[in-house]
């Protein structure tokens, strides 16, 4: 609505100016400033756009004048990793999901050159939500493989905008990863911060279930039913985890440019253990303060800013929480620096609480398909890593060292290495009551994890061959044997 009004206004103003110019020369000086903003593109200084891949963001804009910004972007179709052992044919802007981040200034004139790789099977185009005009540039940028389309637009409204492919079938082009962000900075610029990052959520629909290995084709029916197998940040499971986590130091202010490509899911964007000091709601001008979770619509954005006060790993999630722990919508911000025990003490006590009637819990899991051909140890390790990250990592930690006094270590674990069958039994049936691991006593509950025989064999083989353990291999047949055996009495002692 604002755009339409503005356009009408602009044409009225320019008409008025034209009349005024004929009649009265003195009017000119009053509108000189405005005129300098609307000079033809050829008179503006020409700047090549800096494009970055997530999670990086181009540097803030320091110039105080409008420019003609030239953008070159290439659409590419390529197979990349969706999760460990899982590949997907992504359609991309610039070879990665999300597409390259663009940063321009309000009033800039953009010359956009969209090239479609000669190796593409499909035509592509771009609809930039920052464009005021029919289709957001889609029709003007419709490009066959091996061609380049050029169009220009003027950035009238500041804000953080999504761009995406709008070629038929639109849902499939977006669903395959064709989206990204463009920041139109307001003329006065954004407040200075210490760190800026680019995080964009998207949902994916694959023939196979979450984690099912191999090159997974797009599943149209799931997409129409809006039942994603994957909901991820920055294009794949774990794209912001471990050594790919984004980082900051204690005391710094972090700004996240958050987008959501969809195609279907709306994000409840949340950073566990942080409060957003400031959110530019939906990527616009409205500022909200002290926000825990901000909604990011599909095809929308938000800018969040927060000061990090204490060190540690802060987990970035879509707080529609099953997406975080079962579909991949989980990233990490690692903060280094001195602790502040007043702001956050860490764990101060842990005592057993075991009321009457409590028993080992069981997490139900539908029986997943089991493979038929035997795997090599290396294959088992590779697949088991994935199982570990989805089921075990939350408690036993990425390095397998567990949490002191709460979750026993799997790293260099005497308890684990001593008896593989016991380990199988614990995964099958859960475990409660005190155990001694590496000289420390742990008295907590592990629920039975309802994995299939393959998954249990793979994850144990992975753990046995990781974290400084003694090696070895667990086969699905071993698991089957244990599954048939009665669960150990120890598990029932509180039942």
The sign of the CA dihedral 308, 314, 320, 324 is: positive
Nearer to another protein among residue 207 and residue 412 (C-beta): 207
Which H or E run contains 198? strand 195-204
**In contact, 240 and 256? CB cutoff 8 Å:** no
Going by C-alpha positions, the residue among 382, 386, 371 that lies closest to residue 454 is 371
Min separation Cβ 135 and another protein, Å: 4
Under rule CB under 8 A, residue 204 binds another protein: no
Min separation Cβ 205 and another protein, Å: 11
Residue 431 CA to residue 423 CA, distance in Å, equals: 10
Residue from 172, 428, 457, 479 in contact with another protein (CB under 8 A): 172
Min separation Cβ 493 and another protein, Å: 53
Under rule CB under 8 A, residue 188 binds another protein: no
Q: Where are the beta strands (DSSP E) in 35-178?
A: 46-48, 68-83, 86-93, 102-105, 109-116, 127-128, 147-154, 159-164
Min separation Cβ 100 and another protein, Å: 19
Residue 228 CA to residue 237 CA, distance in Å, equals: 13
Min separation Cβ 89 and another protein, Å: 5
Pairing of strands 147-154, 330-336: unpaired
Packed helices 453-464 and 377-391: angle between N→C axes, nearest 10 degrees: 100
Under rule CB under 8 A, residue 166 binds another protein: yes
Give buried/exposed letters for 186-215 (b at 16+ CB in 10 A, else e).
eeeebeeeebbbbbbbbbbbbeeebbbbee
Under rule CB under 8 A, residue 169 binds another protein: yes
Nearer to another protein among residue 133 and residue 487 (C-beta): 133
Under rule CB under 8 A, residue 191 binds another protein: no
The three-state secondary structure class of 424 is helix
Under rule CB under 8 A, residue 144 binds another protein: yes
Site for another protein in 94-133 (CB under 8 A): 118-123, 125
Among 5-13, 161-169, 181-189, 376-384, the segment contacting another protein (CB under 8 A): 161-169
Min separation Cβ 201 and another protein, Å: 22
Peptide bond between residue 55 and the one before it cis (omega within 30 degrees of 0): yes
Min separation Cβ 166 and another protein, Å: 6
Nearer to another protein among residue 77 and residue 185 (C-beta): 77
Give the CA dihedral 171, 54, 108, 253, nearest 10 degrees.
130
**In contact, 336 and 250? CB cutoff 8 Å:** yes
**In contact, 160 and 301? CB cutoff 8 Å:** yes
Q: What is the DSSP string of 452-491?
A: -HHHHHHHHHHHHTSTT-------HHHHHHHHHSPPPGGG
Under rule CB under 8 A, residue 146 binds another protein: yes
Residue from 20, 41, 50, 139 in contact with another protein (CB under 8 A): 139
Min separation Cβ 170 and another protein, Å: 6
Among 36-44, 71-79, 399-407, 411-419, the segment contacting another protein (CB under 8 A): 71-79
Site for another protein in 210-229 (CB under 8 A): 217-218, 220-221, 224
Under rule CB under 8 A, residue 89 binds another protein: yes
Binding string to another protein for residues 223 to 262, with x set by CB under 8 A, is what?
Answer: -x--------------------------------------
Min separation Cβ 159 and another protein, Å: 22
Min separation Cβ 318 and another protein, Å: 25
Residue from 138, 199, 200, 296 in contact with another protein (CB under 8 A): 138
Residues in contact with another protein, total (CB under 8 A)? 36
Write out the two tokens for 178: 């064709």
Pairing of strands 109-116, 68-83: parallel
Min separation Cβ 129 and another protein, Å: 14
β-strand partners of 203? 231
Residue from 51, 66, 68, 77 in contact with another protein (CB under 8 A): 77
Alpha-carbon distances of 132 from 66, 113, 478, rounded to whole Å: 17, 17, 63
Among 75-83, 196-204, 411-419, 427-435, the segment contacting another protein (CB under 8 A): 75-83
Q: Which residues bind another protein (CB under 8 A)?
A: 76-79, 89, 118-123, 125, 134-135, 138-147, 166-172, 217-218, 220-221, 224
């Amino acid at each position: 609505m604002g755009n339409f009004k503005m356009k009408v206004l602009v044409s009225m103003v320019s008409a008025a100016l034209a009349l005024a110019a004929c009649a009265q020369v003195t009017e000119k000086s009053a509108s000189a400033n405005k005129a300098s903003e609307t000079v033809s593109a050829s008179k503006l200084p020409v700047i090549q756009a800096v494009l970055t891949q997530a999670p990086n963001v181009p540097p803030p804009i320091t110039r105080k004048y409008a420019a003609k910004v030239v953008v070159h972007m290439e659409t590419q179709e390529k197979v990349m990793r969706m999760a460990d052992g899982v590949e997907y044919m992504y359609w991309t802007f610039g070879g990665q999901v999300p597409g390259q981040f663009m940063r321009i200034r309000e009033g800039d004139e953009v010359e956009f050159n969209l090239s479609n790789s000669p190796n593409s099977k499909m035509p592509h185009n771009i609809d930039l939500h920052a464009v005021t005009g029919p289709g957001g540039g889609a029709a003007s940028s419709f490009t066959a493989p091996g061609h380049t389309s050029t169009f220009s637009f003027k950035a009238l409204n500041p804000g953080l905008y999504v761009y995406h492919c709008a070629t038929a079938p639109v849902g499939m082009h977006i669903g395959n990863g064709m989206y990204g962000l463009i920041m139109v900075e307001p003329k006065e610029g954004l407040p200075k911060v210490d760190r800026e990052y680019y995080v964009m959520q998207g949902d994916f629909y694959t023939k196979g279930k979450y984690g099912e290995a191999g090159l997974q084709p797009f599943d149209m029916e799931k997409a129409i039913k809006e039942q994603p197998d994957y909901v991820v940040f920055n294009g794949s499971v774990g794209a912001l985890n471990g050594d790919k986590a984004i980082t900051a130091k204690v005391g710094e202010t972090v700004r996240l440019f958050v987008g959501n490509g969809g195609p279907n899911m709306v994000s409840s964007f949340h950073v566990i253990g942080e409060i957003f000091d400031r959110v530019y709601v939906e990527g616009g001008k409205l500022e909200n303060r002290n926000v825990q979770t901000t909604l990011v619509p599909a095809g929308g954005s938000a800018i969040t800013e927060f000061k990090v006060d204490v060190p540690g790993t802060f987990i970035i999630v879509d707080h529609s929480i099953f997406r975080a722990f079962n579909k991949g919508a989980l990233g990490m911000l690692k903060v280094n620096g001195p602790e502040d025990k007043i702001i956050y003490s860490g764990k101060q006590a842990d005592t057993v609480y075991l009321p009457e009637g409590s028993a080992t819990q069981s997490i139900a899991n539908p029986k997943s398909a089991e493979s038929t051909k035997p795997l090599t140890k290396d294959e088992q390790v590779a697949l088991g890593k994935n199982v570990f990250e989805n089921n075990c990592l939350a408690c036993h930690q990425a390095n397998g060292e567990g949490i002191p006094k709460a979750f026993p270590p799997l790293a260099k674990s005497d308890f684990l290495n001593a008896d593989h069958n016991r380990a199988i039994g614990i995964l099958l049936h859960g475990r409660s009551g005190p155990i001694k691991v590496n000289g420390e006593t742990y008295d907590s509950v592990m629920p039975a994890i309802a994995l299939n025989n393959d998954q249990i064999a793979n994850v144990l083989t992975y753990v046995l061959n990781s974290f400084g353990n003694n090696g070895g291999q667990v086969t699905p047949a071993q698991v089957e044997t244990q599954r048939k055996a009665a669960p150990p009495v120890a598990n029932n002692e509180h039942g």
